[in-house]
Structure 1
Amino acid sequence: MNLSSLLKPRAVRVLADVTSKKRLMQSIADLAHDLIGLPEAQIFDALQERESLGPTGVGHGVALPHARLSELTEVHGAFFRLERPIDFDAADRQPVDLVFALFAPADTGVDHLKALALVSRTLRDPALCAKLRANSDAATLHTLLTEYEASKAA
């Protein structure tokens, strides 16, 4: 599993108008609807349900919201860079501006966990996060994320 298989170019967005966690979750559900074809409300509810178990803000301005949806057959990702950081109830209490959302089939625990681990590992790199924060072009953000693994393997 690699980021280029999880993250399609059209699944990357820069958001200027998000002012709250709830609005962010709605934006994630809206994009996910376009990506995977499930109803926005179903996606939003699944994200909120997972979030109610504990915040997915992992610290250093990064959040990894995720949901399991029984209709899916593979894991999908979406990346958002927020122009203005928002409160996300992160473990370190820092506002969030880098968000990688994952959507997985309800019955694929291992793939879902592998995807979460991959994204978490990737977004723990301070140099990569600095590059992501310095760019506002969705295509550039996609390239930075998907070429990261190749650069680390070299």
Structure 2
Amino acid sequence: MNLKEASFGEFLKPSQVIFELKSHEKLEAIEELLDSLVKQKLISNRNLTLTRIIDRENLEPTALGHGLAVPHARVDTESQMAVAVGRSAEGIDFSAPDSRPVRLIILVVWNPTLPGLFNHLFSGLASFLIKPDNRDRLFSARDKNELYNVLSQIPLAFPYEDRIVNRASLLKKLQDIELKIRRAPEARQEELQKHRALIREELDQSLLARFDLLMDRYGYAVSEIIDGVCQSCNMSVSTQMASAIDESNDIYICENCGKYLVSPGKKEKEKAVAKEKSEKEKIEAEKKGPALAPAARTSQAKKAPAVKVKVKAGKARKN
């Protein structure tokens, strides 16, 4: 298969689309979609596949925001990739980054012998679904066939050279795990190694090769960008890049130091804002300090003679 010319329709058939999911909970919805793949003999080991999907969800929710989720797992399949799509009218809680209920679930199970396939599919999905008009077409589909027609036209895509679509939080988490592995006690090593393997399974090999090289050379490979400044080299990036990275889950590369650039999470942003505010208040206090000091000394100087006078007067009365 020529991936550059392939579309989502290569892996999705109308029979793999559930227009109205019966499930109301995340796990139930995943099982409902998984059962549809088992029924069509696209996967054989249901329990193993479900376990892998749940492990991946526990590591980091696969909700993309805007009512979309792409739960997935890397497991031996009967074909290259098994896909099932389900739509929920009322929405399902997937712990989405924007807290919105998920209305469209795209379940993907791919063969480990094709490590790059999922990345091309995911990149194509993310590029398509990020556009409001495309999401509206999916959510407003009147029946199963209309929904399938929209989905089947989504092209597979190769990640840009300077940007990897919608993988920032995953790469940042991989770095956090790598750093924990270095100092974690032996009792925690097995769990951390498992989490590391789950993430590495779905990231592109070229991305991982660069990540490993940076980790070996500098001790870290991913840097946050705050107020347009790379926190690794303290150099400002272009206004256009800074704007694109802000609150994005895409990965960019710093043109100066070569680290992967990601947008900080909400908590990190709040910390940065609080730190900046504290530093500004400190500077303002230092500016006001010298101006207040002479006044304070003058006040003390005026009070001092009065104290001495009182003391002398007291001694005179005792004599």
The two structures have a TM-score, normalised by structure 1, of 0.87
In structure 2, the residue matched to 1:121 is 127
> How many residues end up aligned between the 2 structures?
149
Secondary structure of 2:73 counterpart: strand
Secondary structure of 1:49 counterpart: helix
Q: Distance in 1 between matches of 2:154 and 2:108?
A: 18
Task: Quote how far apart the aligned CAs of 1:102 are.
Answer: 1.0
In structure 2, the residue matched to 1:6 is 11
Task: Quote how far apart the aligned CAs of 1:96 are.
Answer: 0.4
CA contact (8 A) 1:16 1:84 kept: no
Q: 1:76 to 1:54 in 2, by over 3 A?
A: same
How many percent identity over aligned positions? 23
> Cα deviation per residue 1:37-58 (whole Å; 9 max; x = unaligned)?
4143233222112212210001
Q: Distance in 1 between matches of 2:100 and 2:148?
A: 24
Residue 138 (structure 2) aligned to one of 126, 132, 138: 132
> Cα deviation per residue 1:92-139 (whole Å; 9 max; x = unaligned)?
111100111111012322111111111222222211211221224111
Q: Which structure carries more strand by proportion?
A: 1
In structure 2, the residue matched to 1:50 is 56
Q: Which structure carries more helix by proportion?
A: 2
Secondary structure of 2:108 counterpart: strand
Amino acid of the structure 2 residue aligned with 1:85: G
CA contact (8 A) 1:32 1:78 kept: yes
Gaps of 5+ in 1: 150-154
CA contact (8 A) 1:86 1:96 kept: yes
Q: 1:16 to 1:7 in 2, by over 3 A?
A: closer
Larger RCO, structure (CA 8 Å, separation 6 or more): 1
Task: Quote how far apart the aligned CAs of 1:29 are.
Answer: 1.2
Q: Which moved more, 1:58-67 or 1:23-32?
A: 23-32
Equivalent residues in 2 for 1:10-25 (5 A)?
Answer: 10-25=15-30
Runs of 4+ off more than 6 Å: none
CA contact (8 A) 2:34 2:84 kept: no
Q: Which moved more, 1:87-96 or 1:75-84?
A: 75-84
In structure 2, the residue matched to 1:95 is 101
Residue 142 (structure 1) aligned to one of 122, 142, 148: 148
Q: 1:144 to 1:123 in 2, by over 3 A?
A: same
1:79 aligned onto 2:80: no
Larger radius of gyration: 2
CA contact (8 A) 1:26 1:44 kept: yes
In structure 2, the residue matched to 1:152 is none
CA contact (8 A) 1:83 1:97 kept: yes
Secondary structure of 2:147 counterpart: helix
Q: Distance in 1 between matches of 2:83 and 2:49?
A: 13
1:60 aligned onto 2:61: no
Q: Distance in 2 between matches of 1:112 and 1:45?
A: 19
Secondary structure of 1:103 counterpart: strand
Task: Quote how far apart the aligned CAs of 1:72 are.
Answer: 4.2
Secondary structure of 1:132 counterpart: helix
Secondary structure of 1:77 counterpart: strand
Amino acid of the structure 2 residue aligned with 1:147: Q
Residue 110 (structure 2) aligned to one of 99, 104, 114: 104
Q: 1:71 to 1:98 in 2, by over 3 A?
A: closer
